[in-house]
Amino acid sequence: MVVNGRPLKRAKSRIAATPFDLVPTPKPIDLDTIAELRDARRPSDLINPRGGSVDLNLIHLNPRGVLDLDTVAGEGDVGRPFRESVRAFLSKYGRMMPLPSILTSPSAPSSHHLLTWRTLIRTSGTEVELSVVDEDVVRSRSVYCDQCRVVGWSGHPVCAKRYHFIIRNESRTLPSCRGTSCVHCGASMSVSESRCNTCKCGVPALVGGEVEEQGLQLHDPSHLLHAVVHSNGYGHLLRVNGRQGGSRLLTGREIMSFWDRLCKCLHVRKVTVMDISKKHGMEYRLLHTVTSGHPWYGEWGYQFGAGSYGVTAESYHEAVDKLACVPLSIFFNQGRTPRTILQDIISFYKCLSERELETIRDLFSCITNLLHDSNGQRKMSKIFKVDAAQQSLNCNWTKDDVEHAQTAMVKVLRAVGGSKWVGWRTLKGALSKAAGSPQLLDHCLRGLGGKTTVDGFVVAARCNSETNSIEYRLEAANQRTLVECTALCRPSVEHLIRDLRFLYNTLLNPSTMESYKPQTIKDATSIAAMKILDCKQFVKCYNEPNSNPLPSNPFILHIWCVVELSDHPKDYTLPPPELLVISTSATISDLKLHATRAFQESYPIFQGFVAEHIVTNTNTSESALVKHVVNPNDVVRVVGHCVGVESTNLGQYKMERGLENWVVDCSCGARDDDGERMLACDRCGVWQHTRCSGIKDSDEVPATFVCRKCVKRQKVSTIGARCKEELDTFASVNRKVVGRMNECT
């Protein structure tokens, strides 16, 4: 977000997925209508009017006319670009809705630049209604893409189309959930609010096209899925709402899997996502990254895209490794100090885990696995007990050693008697001298619950959430006791979440971590955690040159084409390469025609583009066959010029960053807009982060701001002026003295 004169970017969408919600609900979806999608295929349907072959056997239809994406993964024509695939998909399987379609409200203005299509798709055994909104950018009042300008795509030309893919939340009506999101933190808020209640940052008033979009609820925060893809195949995943976001039928994982398959079917090129999801009040990208080595979206191939505050991919991965690999032993080697809650919690989960917990990653993985497995109801055989085969593999002790130690434990419990519970540490301490090996005692204690004695007693075990310990006692054996003797030992979901929050605030949250000693370790871990939090933008590459080679076809050629303008200005940036699908009999002249058509369809700025020649190693004629000049899947350069850009007012579509000529030069190393709050120096006009300038995110921006460089220049110039004044004074005095001396002589 930027302030102090520069237009504020529109609110980014909040991501609210539910990774812990893994069990699908079997309740069927109640849909009003089913699209009539079973038109007979005609030979003419397989001809692409824009050039190139089109195979519409891409999607499978069941007898009810519902598209089944689950049977499509990896199938279909893998050679078409997105701009052609989405048109074929909508014209063949979509049903156009009356303007302005489902997104309208009674008071909303008409919006003829938005066309809405609906289709019914089956995914993960569930039927969902997908709405695709075709936005004509040239006629839209919101020309520029805020997501492109913060992920490094600000130099891309403005695309002619934006396709919004939306799955609505059927359980919420539009008038009751009308809202937007905070530009800075992504929290949901009402359109009428001028300040976010979460981060206290001010938001700009909605004007023009933004009011129109809000009236149409295009950015309704209750949508289960909202993604936008430009006509060049570059897109942004804006919203995922799983169970905790209001979804009754689809989990966050199911929505993400659906979106991933849809991108493959439509041949999307790249997709970004801004991960600002929270789980139980914790920043989930930090928690999941430490636990798994990547954010939640990384399970679908999303990787580091762009870091805020100058964080690079290399420094990001170094921070992840540094924080995740902190050994747990440093929290126990702190001298003779009273035992802390942190030490009790770590010891508790070391008792629960069959695996050795050595690092922070091991600790958080243990807790999150307990939460993932049926919402914490994990079978005790997986926590405390191992089968005989596994025990023989992992155990370093004989069966007699284990039996002898457990018999001694039963004797201690019998000596205590009554209804008293004996804690894990107490029982272990009582036998530490006799057993000798602490590892043997831990191993035996994990399998002690449920052990029966010859006199009709059974060892009962329970999890004491107040003391964070496992406790044991002897009870009379009966059928109920045999079943429940280990059931009480399961940590409850509330217990797990409570410990997870405590450990997050103590070990991961840079603003609250206080348990690291010495100070050097604390500083290093705090910096690493901040770097992870400063990385919100992640990207997945589906189809780019040299990334996924397209399969060969004896009848068509796949050519990646780059356009260079012979009369380009100094600030000209090459647009992304476009994929051309041409026949093997195409000539160089045909290639130029296809390239011209592709870029004219994708970008308004290229409406007047005229191709001049193709850059090759040898001089080739216009009638030469492309297959003799260019290899399949190669990238060719087409040089040309644009006609009538200034006269037709197409210059505003030059770049997604807009017409503003702003410069970012922050002390953190940032040289471009990264989506964080910035302000401009009132002297040099250079933009920099408010945080790097010593202004907290919750503080107001000062009315006047001068950057450090300008302040330093002012001091130097002031000192220089003083020195010059002193030298002039000294020279004047010196001249007077010399004059008097001459008079005396």
**Measured on CA atoms in the order 515, 521, 527, 531, is the torsion positive or negative?**
negative
520-524, Cβ contacts within 8 angstroms, sequence gap of 24 or more: 521/326, 521/330, 524/322
Q: What is the pLDDT of residues 642-670, one digit of tens each?
A: 887 766 778 788 888 888 788 899 999 99
Q: In which region does residue 27 sit, left (phi positive, over 0), alpha (psi from -120 to 50) or beta (all else)?
A: beta
Task: Return the bridge partners of 559, or none.
Answer: 580
The tokens describing 355, both together, are 């695996």
Centre a 10 Å sphere on the Cβ of residue 46 and count the other Cβ atoms it contains. Answer: 13
Specify the pLDDT at position 375: 58
Instruction: At 260, list the tokens.
Output: 């991933």
The confidence score (pLDDT) of residue 48 equals: 34
Query: Per-residue pLDDT averaged across 108-118, rounded?
Result: 70
Q: What is the CATH architecture of 379-489?
A: Orthogonal Bundle (1.10)
Q: Which of 187, 191, 198 is nearest to 213 (CA)?
A: 191
* Ranges in the chain annotated CATH 1.10.10: 379-489
- Nearest CA among 223, 372, 368, 235 for reference residue 302: 235
Q: What is the pLDDT of residue 417?
A: 80
Confidence category of residue 362, pLDDT binned at 50, 70, 90: very high
Q: Where residue 180 falls among pLDDT bands split at 50, 70, 90? A: low
pLDDT interval class at 210 (50, 70, 90): very low
Output the pLDDT for position 199. 63
**Whole-number pLDDT of residue 574:** 85
Question: 427-443 pLDDT, tens per residue?
Answer: 888 887 777 678 888 88
Helix residue ranges, H only, 694-707? none
Which residues, 6+ apart, have CB-to-CB distance to 612 below 8 Å? Answer: 566, 639, 640, 641
Specify the CATH number for 556-653; select among 3.40.50.300, 3.20.20.70, 3.40.47.10, 3.10.20.90: 3.10.20.90
Tell me how crowded residue 720 is: count the other CB atoms within 10 A of its CB: 10
Report the chain's mean pLDDT, rounded to a whole number. Answer: 76
How do 161-167 and 225-230 pair as beta strands? antiparallel
Task: For residue 12, give the DSSP letter.
Answer: P
pLDDT tens for each residue of 561-608: 999 888 776 667 889 999 998 888 899 999 999 999 999 999 999 988
At residue 455 the predicted structure's pLDDT band, cuts being 50, 70 and 90, is confident
Give the pLDDT score at 304: 95
Give the predicted TM-score (pTM) of the model.
0.78
C-beta separation of 331 from 515 below 8 A: yes
Q: Which helix (H) or strand (E) holds 632?
A: none
Q: Give the pLDDT confidence of 492-530 residue by residue, as tens digits.
A: 889 999 999 999 999 999 999 888 888 899 999 999 999
Half-sphere exposure for 245 (CA within 13 Å, toward CB): 32
DSSP H/E element including 688 = strand 687-689
pLDDT digits (tens, 9 = 90+) for 116-147: 899 888 877 778 889 999 999 988 888 999 89
N-to-C CA span, the chain: 75
Both tokens assigned to 431: 């036998």
> Shortest CA distance to 323 belongs to which of 352, 286, 353?
286
Question: What number is the average pLDDT over the span 224-253?
Answer: 89
Looking at residue 383, its pLDDT comes to 46
CB 634, CB 550: distance < 8 Å: no
Lowest mean pLDDT among 121-125, 293-297, 367-371, 731-735: 731-735
DSSP 699: S
Cα dihedral 642, 644, 646, 648 sign:
negative
37-78 pLDDT per residue, tens: 223 222 223 223 333 333 333 345 544 456 666 554 444 455
Percent of the chain residues topping a pLDDT of 90 = 29
Q: Are 239 and 11 in contact (CB under 8 A)?
A: no
SS3 content of the chain, % helix, strand, coil (to 5): 35, 20, 45
- Looking at the chain, the domain(s) classified CATH 3.10.20.90 span 556-653
